[in-house]
Chains A and B, each alone.
Chain A
Amino acid sequence: MFELKRTPFHERTSKLSLPQNWRRWAGYIVAGSYDLVLDREYWAIRDAAALIDITPLMKYIIEGPDAAKLLHRMTPRDVLKMAVGQVFYTGWCDDDGKMLDDGTISRLSDTKFRLTSAEPSLRWLAMNAVGMDVTISEVTDQVAALSLQGPKSRMILNQVCAKPLDKLKFFRMTEAKIAGVSVTISRTGYTGDLGYEIWMPADKALTVWDALFEAGRDYGIVPCGILAMDMARVEAGLFMIDVDYTATNHAWIAGQKSTPFEMGLGWTVALDKPGYFVGRRALEREHKEGSAWRLVGLEVEWEGLEKLYASVGLPPQIPGMAIRASLPVMHNGKQIGYASTSTWSPVLKKYIALAHLQRPHHEPGTRVAMEVTVEHHRLHAPATVVKTPFYEPEWKRK
Chain B
Amino acid sequence: MAANQYDAIVIGAGHNGLVAASYLARAGKKVVILERREVVGGAAMTEEIFPGYRFTEFSYVVSLLRPEIIRDLELPKHGLKILPLPSTVTPLDNGDYLGSWDDHDLTRQEVYRHSPKDAEAYDEYSRVMARAAKAIKPIIGMVPPDPSSLSPRDLLGLLKLGQYARSLSEKELYRIAKLVTQSSADLLDEWFEFDALKGTKSASGIIGTFLGPRSPGTAYVLLHHYMGEIDGAFRAWGFAKNGTGGVSAAIANSARALGVEIRTNAPVDKVIVKGGVAAGVALQNGDELRAKVVLSAADPKRTFLQFVDSKHLPDDFVQSIKSFRVRGSSGKLNIALNALPDFTCLPGEGPLHRGAISISPSVDYIERAYDEAKYGQFSKNPYIDMIIPSMIDRDMAPPGHHVMSCFVQYAPYDIEGGWDDAKRDAFGETVISTIEKYAPNIRQCIVGKQVITPKDIERIAGITGGNIFHGELLLHQLFFFRPAPQWADFRTPLPGYYFGAAGAHPGGGVMGAPGKLAADAILKDVD
User: By the criterion CB–CB under 8 Å, are B116 and A2 in contact?
Assistant: no
User: By the criterion CB–CB under 8 Å, are B117 and A126 in contact?
Assistant: yes
14 contacts between A and B (CB under 8 A): A2-B106, A2-B351, A24-B105, A26-B105, A27-B108, A27-B109, A120-B123, A121-B120, A122-B120, A123-B117, A123-B121, A123-B124, A249-B127, A250-B127
User: By the criterion CB–CB under 8 Å, are B123 and A4 in contact?
Assistant: no
Q: For B105, list chain A residues within 8 Å (CB).
A: 4, 24, 26-27
Q: For A254, list chain B residues within 8 Å (CB).
A: 169
Q: Give the dominant DSSP class at B's interface.
A: helix
User: Is the C-beta of A252 less than 8 angstroms from some C-beta in chain B?
Assistant: yes
Q: A4-B105, A5-B109 are in contact. Are A249 and B120 (CB under 8 A)?
A: no
Q: For A24, list chain B residues within 8 Å (CB).
A: 105
User: By the criterion CB–CB under 8 Å, are A122 and B117 in contact?
Assistant: yes
User: Is the C-beta of B32 less than 8 angstroms from some C-beta in chain A?
Assistant: no
User: Is the C-beta of B198 less than 8 angstroms from some C-beta in chain A?
Assistant: no
Within 8 A of A (CB), among B4-18: none
User: Is the C-beta of B134 less than 8 angstroms from some C-beta in chain A?
Assistant: yes
Supplied contacts A27-B109, A120-B123, 6 more A-B pairs, CB within 8 Å: A5-B109, A24-B105, A27-B105, A120-B119, A123-B121, A252-B134
Which of A4, A121, A123, A249 contacts B106 (CB under 8 A)? A4
Complex CA–CA separation, A120 to B108 (angstroms): 10
Q: For A123, list chain B residues within 8 Å (CB).
A: 117, 120-121, 124
User: Is the C-beta of B54 less than 8 angstroms from some C-beta in chain A?
Assistant: no
Residue of A whose beta carbon sits closest to that of B131: A252
Q: A123-B124, A249-B124 are in contact. Are A138 and B106 (CB under 8 A)?
A: no
Within 8 A of A (CB), among B128-186: 131, 134, 169
Complex CA–CA separation, A340 to B156 (angstroms): 42
Interface digits, A109-140 against B, CB 8 Å rule (1 contact, 0 not)?
A: 00000000000111100100000000000100
**Top 8 A-B pairs ranked by shortest CB distance?**
A123-B120, A27-B105, A120-B120, A122-B120, A123-B121, A122-B116, A4-B105, A138-B116
Q: For A252, list chain B residues within 8 Å (CB).
A: 131, 134
Complex CA–CA separation, A5 to B355 (angstroms): 23
Residue of A whose beta carbon sits closest to that of B104: A27
Interface digits, B95-114 against A, CB 8 Å rule (1 contact, 0 not)?
A: 00000010001101100000
Complex CA–CA separation, A121 to B119 (angstroms): 11
Q: Pick the most buried of A5, A122, A123: most chain B CB atoms within 10 A of its CB.
A: A123
Complex CA–CA separation, A250 to B351 (angstroms): 29
Interface digits, B334-354 against A, CB 8 Å rule (1 contact, 0 not)?
A: 000000000000000001000
Within 8 A of A (CB), among B338-376: 351
Complex CA–CA separation, A212 to B57 (angstroms): 64
Complex CA–CA separation, A24 to B109 (angstroms): 14
Q: For B121, list chain A residues within 8 Å (CB).
A: 123
Complex CA–CA separation, A123 to B116 (angstroms): 9
Q: For B169, list chain A residues within 8 Å (CB).
A: 254
Residue of B whose beta carbon sits closest to that of A5: B109
Complex CA–CA separation, A121 to B116 (angstroms): 10
Complex CA–CA separation, A4 to B110 (angstroms): 11
Q: For A121, list chain B residues within 8 Å (CB).
A: 120
Q: For B351, list chain A residues within 8 Å (CB).
A: 2
Interface digits, A63-98 against B, CB 8 Å rule (1 contact, 0 not)?
A: 000000000000000000000000000000000000
Residue of A whose beta carbon sits closest to that of B103: A4
Residue of B whose beta carbon sits closest to that of A24: B105
Complex CA–CA separation, A126 to B118 (angstroms): 12
Complex CA–CA separation, A71 to B264 (angstroms): 70
Complex CA–CA separation, A26 to B101 (angstroms): 16
Residue of A whose beta carbon sits closest to that of B121: A123
Complex CA–CA separation, A27 to B105 (angstroms): 5
Residue of B whose beta carbon sits closest to that of A120: B120
Complex CA–CA separation, A165 to B14 (angstroms): 76
Q: For A120, list chain B residues within 8 Å (CB).
A: 108, 119-120, 123
Complex CA–CA separation, A171 to B335 (angstroms): 65
Complex CA–CA separation, A5 to B119 (angstroms): 15
Within 8 A of B (CB), among A1-54: 2, 4-5, 24, 26-27
Residue of A whose beta carbon sits closest to that of B171: A96
* A95: min CB distance to chain B, Å: 11
Complex CA–CA separation, A122 to B193 (angstroms): 14
Complex CA–CA separation, A381 to B519 (angstroms): 52
Complex CA–CA separation, A122 to B101 (angstroms): 22
Q: For A27, list chain B residues within 8 Å (CB).
A: 105, 108-109
Q: For B116, list chain A residues within 8 Å (CB).
A: 122, 138
Within 8 A of B (CB), among A226-266: 249-250, 252, 254
Complex CA–CA separation, A120 to B125 (angstroms): 14
Complex CA–CA separation, A109 to B134 (angstroms): 46
Complex CA–CA separation, A252 to B123 (angstroms): 14
Complex CA–CA separation, A251 to B259 (angstroms): 46
Q: For B117, list chain A residues within 8 Å (CB).
A: 122-123, 126
Residue of B whose beta carbon sits closest to that of A29: B105
Within 8 A of B (CB), among A154-202: none
Residue of A whose beta carbon sits closest to that of B105: A27
* A248: min CB distance to chain B, Å: 11
* B133: min CB distance to chain A, Å: 11
* A23: min CB distance to chain B, Å: 12
Complex CA–CA separation, A2 to B110 (angstroms): 9
Complex CA–CA separation, A24 to B106 (angstroms): 12
Complex CA–CA separation, A219 to B121 (angstroms): 46
* B99: min CB distance to chain A, Å: 9
Residue of B whose beta carbon sits closest to that of A254: B169
Complex CA–CA separation, A24 to B103 (angstroms): 12
Residue of B whose beta carbon sits closest to that of A28: B105
Q: For B123, list chain A residues within 8 Å (CB).
A: 120
Residue of B whose beta carbon sits closest to that of A26: B105
Complex CA–CA separation, A249 to B121 (angstroms): 12
Complex CA–CA separation, A300 to B134 (angstroms): 39
Q: For A4, list chain B residues within 8 Å (CB).
A: 105-106
Complex CA–CA separation, A120 to B124 (angstroms): 10
Q: For A249, list chain B residues within 8 Å (CB).
A: 124, 127
* A61: min CB distance to chain B, Å: 13
Q: For A138, list chain B residues within 8 Å (CB).
A: 116
* A397: min CB distance to chain B, Å: 35
Q: For B106, list chain A residues within 8 Å (CB).
A: 2, 4
Residue of A whose beta carbon sits closest to that of B101: A2
Complex CA–CA separation, A332 to B109 (angstroms): 49
Q: For B119, list chain A residues within 8 Å (CB).
A: 120
Complex CA–CA separation, A249 to B171 (angstroms): 13
Q: For B131, list chain A residues within 8 Å (CB).
A: 252
* B376: min CB distance to chain A, Å: 42
Residue of A whose beta carbon sits closest to that of B118: A123
Complex CA–CA separation, A26 to B106 (angstroms): 11
Q: For B124, list chain A residues within 8 Å (CB).
A: 123, 249
Complex CA–CA separation, A122 to B120 (angstroms): 7
Residue of B whose beta carbon sits closest to that of A123: B120
Residue of A whose beta carbon sits closest to that of B128: A249
Complex CA–CA separation, A4 to B103 (angstroms): 10
Complex CA–CA separation, A171 to B147 (angstroms): 63
* A129: min CB distance to chain B, Å: 12
Q: For A122, list chain B residues within 8 Å (CB).
A: 116-117, 120
* B155: min CB distance to chain A, Å: 29
* B374: min CB distance to chain A, Å: 36
Q: Pick the most buried of A2, A4, A121, A126: most chain B CB atoms within 10 A of its CB.
A: A2
Complex CA–CA separation, A234 to B131 (angstroms): 32
Complex CA–CA separation, A120 to B351 (angstroms): 27
* B314: min CB distance to chain A, Å: 45
* A92: min CB distance to chain B, Å: 15
* A141: min CB distance to chain B, Å: 10
Q: For A5, list chain B residues within 8 Å (CB).
A: 109
Q: Pick the most buried of A26, A252, A254: most chain B CB atoms within 10 A of its CB.
A: A252
Q: For B108, list chain A residues within 8 Å (CB).
A: 27, 120
Q: For B134, list chain A residues within 8 Å (CB).
A: 252
Residue of A whose beta carbon sits closest to that of B130: A252
Q: For B127, list chain A residues within 8 Å (CB).
A: 249-250
Complex CA–CA separation, A2 to B123 (angstroms): 19
* B25: min CB distance to chain A, Å: 37
